[in-house]
Amino acid sequence: MVLPPRWRKVARDLVAHKLRTILVVLSIAVGIFAILVVMGGRGILIEAFETNFPKSNPSTAVLVTTGFDQMLVDRVARADGVADAEGRRTVSLRYRPGDVTGQVDPPVQVAVAQRQTSITLIAAKDWAASRIDVAAPQGSTPWPPARGEIVLETSDTQVSALRPGDFMTVETASGDKKLLRITGFVHDINSFPAMFVGQITGYVTLETMADLGVDAGMDQLLIKIEKPGLTRAEANRIVSRVRDDVIAPAGVRTLNTTVPEPGSHRLGDIFKAVSILLLVLGVMALALSGFLVVNTVSALLTQQMRQVGIMKAIGGKRVQIGALFLSLVAIYGLLAVLVGLPIGAWWASWFANFAGGLLDFGPAAATPPAYTVALAVAVGFLVPLIAALLPIRKGTRVSVVTALNATGMSGTHFGHGLIDRLLGRLRGLPRPVALSLRNTFLRKGRLAMTLMTLVLASAVVMSVGSVRASILTTVSDVSKWWNYDAEVNFARPVPAQLAERDALKVSDVKSSEGWLASPATLRRGDGTENTRLGMIALPPNTSFITPFLVGGRWLTDADTNGVVVNTDVVNAEHLAIGDAVSLKIRGKDYDFRVIGVVRGQMMGPVFFSNRAYTERLLGLQGSITRLLVRTGDHSIAAQDMTADRLDRTFTDAGLVVIDVLGQARMSESFANQLGILVTFLIIMAVILATVGVIGLSGTMIINVLESTREIGVMRAIGASHGSIYQVFVTEGVVIGVLSWAGGLILSWPMSLGLVWVLEGAIGIPLTYTFSWEAVAGWLVVVAAISAVASLIPAFNASQVSVRDAISYE
Amino acid sequence: MTASASGSNHSLIRLTQVVKTYDSGEVPFTALRGVDLTVEPGEFVGLIGKSGSGKTTLINMITGIDRPTSGEVLISGTPVHALSENKLAVWRGRTIGVVFQFFQLLPTLTVVENVMLPMDFCSVHLPRERESFAMSLLEQVEMADQAHKLPAALSGGQQQRVAIARALANDPPILAADEPTGNLDSVTAEAVFVLFEKLVAAGKTIVMVTHDNDIASRVARALHVHDGEIVDDIRRP
Ligand SMILES: Nc1ncnc2c1ncn2[C@@H]1O[C@H](COP(=O)(O)OP(=O)(O)O)[C@@H](O)[C@H]1O
Ligand SMILES: [Mg+2]
């Protein structure tokens, strides 16, 4: 095959200028990479969620009740409006990893190494026939588990080292130690990911439950309502009717009803936040790579001006010359797609699996969805072509004389603009520094593009720093809110005096306080209900929490029906200070008035009321349902130990304890939830920073290529390698520091915006904190990075042969 | 044919059997075929010959801008052919002032800054004395009044005079110029030549490539280059 000469020129251009080819291809490939990872990763995540979540056939409502049997389940399933129903038995027990059945009371060292923690056990009548909130066994996991065997949830691996084949020793309610063998993993998208609750979940059969001393019968009823366009209010109505007409008449009491927004996932809000952030960052990556490509392509054409002149002089038509360059650019795009696509797709899948693992979305696709691939290919292929059109038009229009006279030095236009004159006025700088500074501003178009890329990247990095700082401040605010070390939740109201006296018997407990906590249902004006609320009645002058007031005032001893709500309530119900609310508590309706708003603390929507008034109102004088204690030692280990002892003490006293929680563990799980968002943000910031850095390196490489003759001259008049390095590294660092300054200004509104988006998504107000550490840290990093990014081109520069540089072809 | 080899061991410039073969083309091309040459301090040497005869290649051997394939280049006793690239650049900055046909001033630096640049690179003169020394050089070449202009604002002759001042910045004993008048009109070229004569009178050694016969006939020593060899060595009294 014989190529016409001008196509041979295209081929030779690619091969002869290897560095330039690599640079252009790399710049475009980085853009493709960034878009694929961010957008493609997001796409994979959404896809995994949208397949795995509906596949599980999520329940419409979950009712926690006193014990019931399969007959009731069947009756509920046949009830009006209900499509299906299923029963589960759940219990939270303490366990230690390994086989410690032989030990009576493990010594402290063992207790710390094999810390006793909680596991939520879930049992169903027949796991294999489960139709609601279906859990999917992974790999060759035997399903359902055999008697004495347990299957763990996939996200458990993030907090526990237990693996199939291992044993765990579970402590039964009566204090016996029972051994369970772990046989595999199951993915339950409707469970709370272990990382979020700091607790693992295991799946067993009802027989195993019975072996563990858990009484027969089920206590969790899953209801599925199938109806297109089902609203939460409608679901609520149906569930209330089933409760009143089917469940209650069977003698089963409903303790708690959860009816989430139909079709919503429990981590839906956080996922929404992540998804929006990814989208925003994806659009930025798109803009960044667009800049990068435009930058590289126009530099390429400037370099080829002389050749354009020659081709024109020997009779090349504009269209022919244009086509020549366009095809060169198209080949660059093609090569970039070949490089960027597989690498980007691999990292997109890595990222999606990492994120999907944290959110427990289950198995994700290995490749990004087609539309993101198409987008990346379009950016890699079309953007360069479009970017090239303008410079090509301009370049091919230039007269032969101008093109041929293009000098080897590119600075002959220096000295005209305002910046040039200002820089010219800067006297007394060492000449090499003056040279770097002025050369930086020589190619203004390219500088502008490079700056835009790096300013945007800097702004994102610093904003992420501020978002992280805001989250940390909020977490620390939350920890300040909890001024206690452990809380005990009782199944039924218990006498306050008894509980407090028993608590003080536990060693290291310094003080305690009792609260009355109860689920509450808000009756709205339109007759619908919100059943997902909580009421906490506490002494107004409590020192066990430090409420962070957002509006109105906190409770006083004089308050009667005045309640303080947290921001979660305000978000869900749009209540304002002064509003009257009607709450159903323990089966009766009461009227309250909102007097203040405090910040939510990841404890869901809660009403706070004066305990003295509320206990009389509810007829529960002198009773509490939650006991808070303060200890001398606040470490996680000490709190766990205290929790353990409290549990034993109360159980021995015949009180039914639902759970005992260490405060540090609660803050930890709160910090983990927000920490996941920070992790995503940091990953994204790193990707964008990489794009910015490659953009800077690209610009520096082109600048050096264009400065070949100047470098030759400098070496001819005595410049050492070091001097040449200095000139270009200074130029790179000046660009880096300028970007930092621009990014700093932009990061303020950007971080405010990000925090706002986050607040909206997770429904918690964050304490905005501008991170000066991030600002200072990024200055150091960007200066170092831009120095390094200029080193490779500076090295090339110092290798320039003086003879070749100054000789004319 | 070799040129005068009568110089002492302490000649300023001494080339011995210098061969330069370019093998970048399809067939290797020998541009210098064993040149011997000595130049004494204070000489004004012109390299004369047709285009392609090897003049530029020869002067590049002297300045160290290019290396010989074989042979030795000694300048004030320094074996230039054996220096590393990095040492060579600094050595050149201090020892040889280079003047180019196309001036090659750095466009973003002003006239006086261009003259001071080699001082910065080679750390010659105290930093605070550099500007006054540069100004005195510009006075010598009658460009002091343009000191703060950018090169683009100057005519070709003016730029070449600035380039000569720059070549003198580190007070080197030798000035090497490859067709310094090649891009100038005859009046301006004459002025540059007169400047060179003054510098020789002041004790500098100058090696200059030219194809201008008029100028060639006026240098103290004319070396005729043909096909990579020095074929004639004419000294005027
Ligand atoms: N880099 C090079 N590669 C190959 N051949 C070269 C190179 N530089 C010069 N030549 C050849 O060497 C010969 C001498 O060149 P040069 O010294 O530049 O001559 P002059 O300066 O006298 O015109 C010429 O024939 C030229 O083609
Ligand atoms: Mg020549």
The shortest CB-CB distance from A719 to any of B66, B108, B121 is to B121
pLDDT for B72-121, tens place per residue?
A: 999 998 999 889 888 888 899 899 999 988 888 888 888 999 999 999 88
Task: Mark out the alpha helices in A534-629 (DSSP H runs).
Answer: 567-573, 611-617
Give the residue, out of A802, A807, A809, with the most ligand 1 atoms within 8 A of its beta carbon, to mutate for a pocket test: A807
CB–CB contact B100 A808 (8 Å): no
- The helix/strand count (H/E) of chain B reads as 7, 10
Q: B44 or A273: which carries more pLDDT confidence?
A: B44
**Cβ B66 under 6 angstroms from ligand 1:** no
Q: Is residue B18 part of a domain?
A: no
Beta partners for A510? none
Beta partners for A223? A61, A85
Residue A185 pLDDT grade (very low, low, confident, very high; cuts 50, 70, 90):
very high
**Model pLDDT, residue A426:** 67
**Cβ B224 under 6 angstroms from ligand 1:** no
Q: Which chain B residues are within 8 Å of A800, Cβ to Cβ?
A: none
The shortest CB-CB distance from A716 to any of B65, B110, B122 is to B65
pLDDT for A352-391, tens place per residue?
A: 888 888 788 887 788 888 998 998 888 888 888 887 787 7
Q: How far apart are CA B148 and CA B151, in angstroms?
A: 9
Q: How far apart are CA A412 and CA A14, in angstroms?
A: 29
Average pLDDT score over residue span B173-191: 87
Residue whose CA lies nearest to ligand 1 atom number 20: B52
DSSP code of residue A132:
S
Average pLDDT score over residue span A111-123: 68
CB-CB contact of A488 with A650 (8 Å): yes
| Residues in Cβ contact with B164 at an 8 Å cutoff, skipping those fewer than 6 apart | B97, B99, B141, B175, B180, B192, B195
CA of B6, closest CA in chain A: separation in Å?
30
Q: Which chain A residues are within 8 Å of B117, Cβ to Cβ?
A: 431-432, 435, 714, 717
Residue A539 pLDDT grade (very low, low, confident, very high; cuts 50, 70, 90):
very high
pLDDT for B62-84, tens place per residue?
A: 999 889 999 999 999 899 988 98
Q: Which of A405, A717, A800 to mutate to test the interface with B (most CBs of B within 10 A)?
A: A717
**Secondary element (H or E) of residue A436:** helix A431-440
Average pLDDT score over residue span A727-735: 88
DSSP letters, A159-218, are: T----TT-EEEEEPTTS-EEEEEEEEEEE-TTSPPHHHHT-EEEEEEHHHHHHTTPPSSE
Domain count, chain B: 1
Q: How far apart are CA A437 and CA A414, in angstroms?
A: 12
**Model pLDDT, residue A682:** 81
pLDDT for A664-704, tens place per residue?
A: 766 776 677 677 777 777 877 887 787 778 778 777 877 77
CB pairs under 8 A between A and B: 98
Q: Coil, strand or helix: which one is A585?
A: strand
Q: What is the CATH number of the domain that holds B144?
A: 3.40.50.300
Q: Which chain B residues are within 8 Å of A716, Cβ to Cβ?
A: 63, 65, 92, 98, 100, 104
Q: Which chain B residues are within 8 Å of A802, Cβ to Cβ?
A: 65-66
**Model pLDDT, residue A177:** 81
**Secondary element (H or E) of residue A272:** helix A268-303
Q: How far apart are CA B96 and CA B76, in angstroms?
A: 11
Q: Is residue B220 part of a domain?
A: yes
**Model pLDDT, residue A390:** 77
Give the residue among B34, B235, B168 at the shortest CA–CA distance from A717. Answer: B168
Residue A109 pLDDT grade (very low, low, confident, very high; cuts 50, 70, 90):
very low
A77 by Cβ neighbours in 10 Å (0-12 / 13-18 / 19+) ranks as middle
**Model pLDDT, residue A697:** 79
Mean pLDDT of chain A, nearest integer = 82
Chain A's closest residue to B115, CA to CA, is A431
**Model pLDDT, residue B144:** 92
For tokens 């949830």, what's the residue? A153
Q: How far apart are CA A120 and CA A202, in angstroms?
A: 6
C-alpha of residue A807 to centroid of ligand 1, in Å: 10
Residue A265 pLDDT grade (very low, low, confident, very high; cuts 50, 70, 90):
confident
| Range with lowest mean pLDDT among A148-162, A475-489, A529-543 | A475-489
Give the residue, out of B19, B24, B29, with the most ligand 1 atoms within 8 A of its beta carbon, to mutate for a pocket test: B29
CA of A312, closest CA in chain B: separation in Å?
25
Residue A706 pLDDT grade (very low, low, confident, very high; cuts 50, 70, 90):
confident
**Model pLDDT, residue A110:** 46
Please name which ligand lies nearest the alpha carbon of B177. Answer: 2
Q: A554 or A439: which carries more pLDDT confidence?
A: A554
CB-CB contact of A435 with A441 (8 Å): no
| Range with lowest mean pLDDT among A258-262, A289-293, A418-422, B1-5 | B1-5
pLDDT for A430-478, tens place per residue?
A: 788 888 878 777 777 778 877 887 888 899 889 989 988 988 888 787 7
Give the residue among A536, A428, A531, A438 at the shortest CA–CA distance from A489. Answer: A536
Chain A's closest residue to B119, CA to CA, is A718
Q: Which chain A residues are within 8 Å of B103, Cβ to Cβ?
A: none
pLDDT for A37-94, tens place per residue?
A: 888 888 888 888 888 888 989 999 988 888 899 999 999 999 988 999 999 998 878 7
Q: How far apart are CA A576 and CA A565, in angstroms?
A: 9
| Residues in Cβ contact with A338 at an 8 Å cutoff, skipping those fewer than 6 apart | none
Beta partners for A662? A486
CB-CB contact of A293 with A336 (8 Å): no
**Model pLDDT, residue A230:** 86
**Cβ B121 under 6 angstroms from ligand 1:** no
CB-CB contact of A441 with A423 (8 Å): yes
Give the residue among A359, A287, A276 at the shortest CA–CA distance from A681. Answer: A276
Q: A159 or A237: which carries more pLDDT confidence?
A: A237
**Model pLDDT, residue A107:** 47
Average pLDDT score over residue span A148-165: 87
pLDDT for A85-102, tens place per residue?
A: 999 998 878 787 877 666
Q: Coil, strand or helix: which one is A143?
A: coil
Which atom of ligand 1 is closest in space to residue B225's alpha carbon? Answer: 22
Tell me how far apart the 2 most distant CA atoms of chain B are, in Å: 53
Q: Which chain A residues are within 8 Å of B133, Cβ to Cβ?
A: none
CB-CB contact of A762 with A467 (8 Å): no
Residue B29 pLDDT grade (very low, low, confident, very high; cuts 50, 70, 90):
very high
Residue A662 pLDDT grade (very low, low, confident, very high; cuts 50, 70, 90):
confident
C-alpha of residue A806 to centroid of ligand 2, in Å: 11
CA of B63, closest CA in chain A: separation in Å?
8
pLDDT at A192 exceeding the cut of 50: yes
Q: Which chain B residues are within 8 Å of A413, Cβ to Cβ?
A: 152
Residue whose CA lies nearest to ligand 1 atom number 18: B56
**Cβ B31 under 6 angstroms from ligand 1:** yes
**Model pLDDT, residue A289:** 66
**Cβ B47 under 6 angstroms from ligand 1:** no
Chain B's closest residue to A423, CA to CA, is B108
Residue A450 CA: distances (Å) to CA of A292, A299, A336, A619, B218: 7, 12, 20, 71, 54
CA of B56, closest CA in chain A: separation in Å?
10
Which atom of ligand 1 is closest in space to residue B29's alpha carbon? Answer: 5
- Evaluate the CA torsion angle B132, B133, B138, B141 in order and state its sign: positive
Chain A's closest residue to B113, CA to CA, is A431
Q: Range of B173's domain? A: 42-67+84-235
Q: How far apart are CA A720 and CA B80, in angstroms?
A: 16
**Model pLDDT, residue B13:** 94
CB–CB contact B98 A430 (8 Å): no
First to last CA, chain B: 22
Chain A's closest residue to B66, CA to CA, is A803
Average pLDDT score over residue span B21-44: 90
Q: A706 or A367: which carries more pLDDT confidence?
A: A367
Q: How far apart are CA B102 and CA A495, in angstroms?
A: 101
Give the B-side interface with A, CB within 8 Å. 56, 60, 63, 65-66, 85-86, 89-90, 92-94, 97-98, 100, 102, 104, 106-110, 113, 116-118, 120-122, 127, 150, 152-153, 166-167, 169-170
Hey, what long-range contacts does B91-94 have (CB within 8 A, 24 or more apart)? B91/B64, B92/A716, B92/A717, B92/A718, B92/B63, B92/B64, B92/B65, B93/A717, B93/A718, B93/A719, B93/B118, B93/B121, B93/B122, B93/B124, B93/B170, B94/A718, B94/B122, B94/B124, B94/B170, B94/B172
**Model pLDDT, residue A116:** 60
The residue ranges of every structural domain in chain A are: 1-55+299-406, 59-258, 486-632
Q: Which of B80, B83, B105, B121 to mutate to test the interface with A (most CBs of A within 10 A)?
A: B121
Name the percent of chain A lying above pLDDT 90.
21
CB–CB contact B109 A409 (8 Å): no
Q: Which chain A residues are within 8 Å of B86, Cβ to Cβ?
A: 720-722
**Cβ B51 under 6 angstroms from ligand 1:** yes
Crossing angle of helices A18-35 and A268-303, in 10° steps, is 160
What value of ipTM does the predicted structure carry?
A: 0.87
Number of neighbours of residue B31 by Cβ within 10 angstroms = 21
| Residues in Cβ contact with A422 at an 8 Å cutoff, skipping those fewer than 6 apart | none
- How far from the centroid of its chain's Cα atoms is residue A114's Cα? 31
**Model pLDDT, residue B230:** 93
Give the residue among B6, B153, B219, B142 at the shortest CA–CA distance from A412. Answer: B153
Q: How far apart are CA A510 and CA A151, in angstroms?
A: 40
**Cβ B127 under 6 angstroms from ligand 1:** no
A715: alpha, beta or left, given left = phi > 0 and alpha = psi -120 to 50?
alpha
